[in-house]
């Protein structure tokens, strides 16, 4: 009995196919830019977190007639609804991390889900899992992952929850970028003149994007509401 000849790929043909697949893969990755896509997804998630915090503030105020930062002693005097303030996400006044009420609203809080919770979580306005997010649990080591709450002066003053965008495309939309000034307690969009100077967009290649300083003149934050 004669054996049928089965025709297969030669080694050279297989190498050519592998090389073509590799070239196409590189081309697709170059087009998609997976790092930028991951950063965009992270920005979207962070913006959703900021919106949840902002909604949590309004629910908390509707139920308590106080915002979280108004519950804390501030050098002997509690803040009022008229006061202006800036609170990073690991501060007691932000409402996620636990801090002693007898301390000021800008005192560093303890962010975990094993001990006491911040006021937004304690009141069930937000889930305890929020305290495990990097914006709270890792903000000391990675300040670029933090959130910032800004309360304008006056009982009708707006409240903003801000973050540093990671995606290059979100850093380039300068009309949506804000400056925060924790010294003079001011907020403004790019082009606004603040006490510390003109709010200007930071170049996306600048190292300052990774280590934000609240100097009042660097437009590197996106905020909710926009």
**What's residue 141's pLDDT?**
83
**What's residue 225's pLDDT?**
94
Q: State how far the Cα of 118 lies from the Cα of 3, in Å rounded to an integer.
A: 78
**What's residue 27's pLDDT?**
56
Among 186, 191, 185, smallest CA distance to 219 is for 191
Identify whether 192 is part of a domain: yes
**What's residue 119's pLDDT?**
95
pLDDT, tens digit (0-9, with 9 covering 90-100), for 31-58: 667 888 999 999 999 999 999 999 999 9
Identify whether 134 is part of a domain: yes
Identify whether 5 is part of a domain: no
Average pLDDT over residues 81-100: 93
> Rounded mean pLDDT of the chain?
87
Number of domains within the chain = 1
Residue appearing with tokens 């108004």: 70
- For residue 30, give its domain range: 12-224
- Measuring CA to CA, how many Å separate 136 from each of 11, 128, 172, 190? 55, 12, 26, 27
pLDDT, tens digit (0-9, with 9 covering 90-100), for 147-168: 999 999 998 899 999 999 999 9
Average pLDDT over residues 91-107: 91
Is the pLDDT at 3 greater than 80? The verdict is no
Q: State how far the Cα of 3 lies from the Cα of 202, in Å rounded to an integer.
A: 73
Identify whether 6 is part of a domain: no
Average pLDDT over residues 2-13: 62
pLDDT band at 195 (very low <50, low <70, confident <90, very high): very high
**What's residue 135's pLDDT?**
85
- Which stretch of DSSP H or E encloses residue 134? helix 134-137
- Which stretch of DSSP H or E encloses residue 48? helix 34-64
Beta bridge partners of 224: 161
Among 190, 193, 157, smallest CA distance to 176 is for 190
Q: Cβ(221)–Cβ(178) under 8 Å? A: yes
**pTM of the predicted structure, to 2 decimals:** 0.83
Identify whether 7 is part of a domain: no
Residue-level length of the chain: 226
Q: State how far the Cα of 1 lies from the Cα of 7, in Å rounded to an integer.
A: 19
Identify whether 104 is part of a domain: yes
């Amino acid at each position: 009995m004669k054996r049928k000849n089965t025709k297969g790929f030669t080694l050279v043909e297989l190498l050519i196919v592998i090389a073509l697949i590799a070239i196409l893969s590189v081309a697709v990755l170059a087009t998609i830019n997976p790092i930028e896509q991951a950063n965009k997804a992270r920005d979207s998630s962070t913006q959703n977190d900021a919106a949840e915090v902002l909604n949590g503030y309004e629910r908390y105020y509707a139920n308590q007639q106080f915002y979280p930062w108004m519950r804390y002693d501030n050098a002997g005097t509690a803040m009022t609804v008229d006061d202006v303030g800036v609170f990073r996400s690991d501060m007691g006044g932000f409402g996620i991390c636990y801090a002693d009420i007898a301390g000021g609203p800008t005192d560093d809080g303890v962010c975990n889900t094993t001990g006491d919770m911040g006021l937004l979580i304690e009141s069930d306005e937000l889930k305890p899992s929020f305290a495990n997010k990097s914006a709270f649990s890792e903000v000391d080591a990675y300040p670029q992952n933090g959130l910032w709450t800004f309360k304008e002066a006056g009982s009708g003053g707006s409240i903003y929850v801000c973050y540093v965008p990671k995606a290059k495309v979100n850093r380039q939309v300068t009309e949506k970028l804000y400056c925060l000034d924790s010294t003079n307690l001011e907020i403004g969009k790019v082009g606004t003149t603040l006490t510390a100077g003109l709010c200007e967009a930071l170049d996306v290649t600048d190292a300052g994007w990774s280590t934000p300083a609240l100097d009042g003149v660097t437009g590197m934050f996106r905020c909710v509401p926009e």
